[in-house]
Every structure is written in C-alpha cells, then in structure tokens.
Structure 1
Amino acid sequence: MKVDSINFLSNRENIQKISVEDFKKGIFTIETDTIPYRFLEPKETFLKKRYPLVIAFHNSSRIGNDNEKQLEHLTKTWLTPDIRATYPCYVLAPQFNERSSNYSKSEEGFLESRPSQQAKLVLSLIKELQKRYPNIDDTKIYLIGYSMGASTAQNLMAMAPKEFRALVSIAAVPDLSNLKAFKRKPILLIHGQMDLENPYEGSVTQFERLKGNKRLILKTYDYLNHATITIPFLSGDEIPKWLFKH
C-alpha cells in the first residue's frame, strides 16, 4: 500500500502539471438552466473521419460553476501526449452546480442513485455538440465517471441507452432503475472493497443482477478505498484502451 500511495502522489503531481488550455470553455443554456463545460477536440481531425465522444463526469467535491474544478485528474489523463496520440477523440466535461446524482436507500437496504434535473440536461448538450461537430461518431459515445460522476454516468445510460456505446463506472452508487438498459452494453465497474463512502456492495449487487451481460466486468481492488481507487488509472491507458475496443 505504501508503494501505491507513493505512485498515487507522483502520478497526481505529474497530471497536475498538465496544461488544460486545450480544454476549451463553453456554456450551455436551455431555458433557465445553464451548464458550464469544457470540451477537448482531437489533436488533429480529418474531414472524412469520425471520432468518439467521451463524456467525463466529476465527483461531488468538484461541484460549482467556475468551469475549472470539473477537470479532475482522471479527466486530465486524456490530455497526456500518449493517450491523445493513440486514442483521438472528443472529450466533454460538464460541471454541475448541485449534485448530479442523488442517493437513497432501496427497500433491500443498499444505496441507489437517481439523476438530478441538471444531469438530464446533458442529453440536450450532447445533441448540440453533435450538430456543431458533425464528425462526432454517434455510435461511439462513451460515459465515464468517478464517485458521484460514475453514478451520473449510470443514470444517463439508464435514461437513454440507445445514445451510448459503453460505460466505465468507478466507485459508483448504482442505478438499478432500468436494468434492461445495461443488459447488452459493454460496462466496466471498478470498485475498492474498502470503500465505505459508496459501498462496494452496490457494485456487487449490480453485477449479480446483470449476470446475463457477457460484456460486463467487475474489477475489484481489495485494498483500495473511495479516496484511493483512482490510483491504478492515473498512469497508463487502461480506460481508453478498454473503451476503444468497443
């Protein structure tokens, strides 16, 4: 664990130094609601080529409207030179000024998540970006997130499964409201057994209820908790490599 902690701090420090200038600022407004967002384009684009869109949701500590804090370390990994060169794509990082996913206890006693109204607005933002960037590949829109952001990613998949190709969920409180939405999707659930904030049992329950899905993976880290579960993903390309297989 000491080695992991050292690697974690080193990786965070290296990623912290990366300039976020290429993540352009935008504001999406629909009626009376506004969502600040950052948007990263591929390093270079070709007219006849289409590119995936990755939507990265932030955790609850990044709530606000400064259009800065949502670029957490996992999101910034898409700026590293190797990943940008190997996995060209668009990356959308919206910021919420309230919780994007709310938790409540199910009748069985475990936590479940439900989307906020702001989270639902992301569906409209995606449509707007598809109009503006016609070479977004609408068959390859990926959802990723950590903590509250992972729950939000699951919420959107549950609401509009036809819009999204695959999902990476790190330390989420699961959304079990529409299991059919997840039945055939490529889904990577990542959780630490030591997680007491968003309990590991939630991902286990979700995995068991989706056992018929042969594209579903539950990756367990028995020695990591809620704060340390991002350690393995701040270096290397495991997440983009898995996404781009689909």
Structure 2
Amino acid sequence: MDASTIDSLMAKHVFSSSNGMQMPYRLFSPIIESTEKIPLVIFLHGRGDRGRDNSAQIYHEAGIIVNANSLLKAEIQSNFPCYILVPQCSDKTENEEWAKWVGNSPETPFKGLGADSTYTMSPSPSESGEAALELIEQTIKDKNIDANRVYIIGLSMGGFGTWEFTARKPHVFAGAIPMAGYSDPNQLEKIKHIPFWIFHGSIDKWNPVTGSRTMFKLLSDSNADVRYTEYVDTGHGESFKKAFNEAELIPWLFSKKRKTNSSQEKL
C-alpha cells in the first residue's frame, strides 16, 4: 500500500475539546462494513511529531499503519476489522506532551523525569492529554465501536502517554502497548487489570530501559496479564520497528477484552 493511499484512508479531522483545544487527528474507518461493533485502536506518536499540521508524520512510525502488515489492508481488515485513531499532540509550549508530570512546566519541561525512567504523574493532565482522552471517549460514542475492545499503542512520548492514559482512564482500555516510554509506578493499582505488552531497547539513550523493567516487575508481582520484550543491543527508534514486526503483536492485542474493577466507572 503506497503512501498516498494510506494518507487518503487516514481521514483528516479536527476535534474541538472542552478545554478549548482544536486537536488535529486522523481516523481510519473500516473498509469492510460490519453490523457488529468493532475495536478501536489508538496510536500516540512521539515528541518529534507534535504540531498542528495533521500531516502524515503523526503516523509515519506506526507499524500498524505503514508496514507490510498494515491494519489498513482489506485482507487484514477481514481478520481484524477496526477503527484507528491518531491524535496530534500540540507543540504550543516546550513542555506540551501526552503526559504531565510533577515539575513539568514551559520553563522546566523535563524537570521531574527520573534517571530511572519514572516520574510522578501530575494531578491534572496536559491540555493535549485531556483533549485526546475526550476525543477517544467521543469517538467510542459516535462510531460503531465495541467499548470492550479499545486498545492503545504509543512510542517514546507516546509510550509515556500510553502509561498515563491508562492510569487516567483505566475503565476505557482493553489492552495497551507502551514502547520505550517513562511511567509512574505509583499508578499500578489503577492499571493492573489492563493487559500490557511492554517494549524497550536495552541501550536506549533517550528513555532508559529501567522504567519498563520496573513496570514489568510490578505488574508481574501483581499477577497481571503482562508481557515484556527487551531487545538486546537495540536503541530507541530501532526498538519501535522491531516491535511492530512481532508476528504475535496484532493477534495478542485483538484477543483482549476490557476488564473493570468493581470500583471503576463503566462506559
């Protein structure tokens, strides 16, 4: 599937969020019509793809869209029909990211990020994070989506976002794939019912692997449904490429259904 075909299938939209943000996003709608409700897959891009242009850069590293096993292909849609949602994070300030941590401000964008690849989540989300979460819930309501099969995948800054979105809205997601991101271990109790497949490269110089190892141990010790893949002698960007080429990635994700704790809000 060539780039122009992909771009035409990933329809451009803008979401007006309650916080006033005009969030650009792309939405792929199923090629094969179905009377049954079907899954939604959310992809969160990395820091270098922030902006307001809604260009192809926001999904150019998403293997589920651009690689040989793209979910956009009709033959793959026949097995895994789904919507794909790709919001774009704003770059209005230096510190605007999917995640929001204690210490994060326009003057100190990276303060509060630990050398062990962890941080403490801020009580309030970033503006882009808040808008994207609202967009996700609105899309579930507006489209023919199975609310029990909503999945999220993110790389680098989007890996941060994957950990954080599941913690901020733990009742929404049926499965999550964070790649090479920081996380807040204090959110364990909120997210341990969600299946995770964590990916990281062992020599990642941008986002140290320690945080992913920590989250895997914490989730494992909690008897969570969790997998961890660490690529030896692999850096930051290369780990994404390898992860998206895992043969079991898509079947694993689509096999998951939402679980909720009795104390959690349901859609």
Given the alignment, which residue of 86, 105, 115 partners 2:113?
A: 105
> Are residues 198 and 160 of structure 1, via their aligned partners in 2, closer, same or farther at CA, if it must alter by over 3 Å?
same
| Correspondence for 1:198 | 207
Question: 1:184 deviation in Å?
Answer: 1.9
**Contact in 1 for aligned 2:16/2:23 (Cα 8 Å):** yes
Question: 1:237 deviation in Å?
Answer: 4.6
- Which one is further off, 157-166 or 222-231? 222-231
- When the two structures are superposed, what TM-score results if normalisation uses the length of structure 1? 0.85
- When the two structures are superposed, what TM-score results if normalisation uses the length of structure 2? 0.79
The separation in 1 between residues aligned to 2:74 and 2:59, in whole angstroms, is 17
Are 1:44 and 2:35 counterparts? no
- Which one is further off, 120-129 or 190-199? 120-129
- Which one is further off, 230-239 or 149-158? 230-239
| Correspondence for 1:11 | none
Given the alignment, which residue of 230, 233, 237 partners 1:227?
A: 237
Given the alignment, which residue of 35, 41, 51 partners 1:54?
A: 41
| Correspondence for 1:175 | 184
One-letter code aligned to 1:227: G
Question: 1:205 deviation in Å?
Answer: 1.1
One-letter code aligned to 2:251: K
| Correspondence for 2:58 | 70
The separation in 1 between residues aligned to 2:2 and 2:217, in whole angstroms, is 35
| Correspondence for 1:5 | none
Given the alignment, which residue of 76, 83, 87 partners 1:83?
A: 76
Given the alignment, which residue of 165, 169, 174 partners 1:160?
A: 169
SS at match of 1:156: helix
SS at match of 1:151: helix
| Correspondence for 1:33 | 21
Question: What is the percentage of aligned positions where both structures have the same residue?
Answer: 27
Question: 1:64 deviation in Å?
Answer: 0.7
**Contact in 1 for aligned 2:12/2:24 (Cα 8 Å):** yes
Unaligned residue ranges in structure 2 (runs of 5+): 92-96, 101-109, 257-267
The separation in 1 between residues aligned to 2:229 and 2:157, in whole angstroms, is 18
Question: 1:234 deviation in Å?
Answer: 4.5
Question: 1:81 deviation in Å?
Answer: 4.5
> Are residues 36 and 173 of structure 1, via their aligned partners in 2, closer, same or farther at CA, if it must alter by over 3 Å?
same
SS at match of 1:196: coil
* RMSD of aligned alpha carbons: 2.2
Unaligned residue ranges in structure 1 (runs of 5+): 1-13
**Contact in 2 for aligned 1:190/1:219 (Cα 8 Å):** yes
SS at match of 1:141: strand
Question: 1:90 deviation in Å?
Answer: 0.6
One-letter code aligned to 2:168: M
Query: Whose strand fraction is larger, Structure 1's or Structure 2's?
Result: 1
| Correspondence for 1:24 | 11
**Contact in 1 for aligned 2:24/2:52 (Cα 8 Å):** yes
Question: 1:83 deviation in Å?
Answer: 3.1
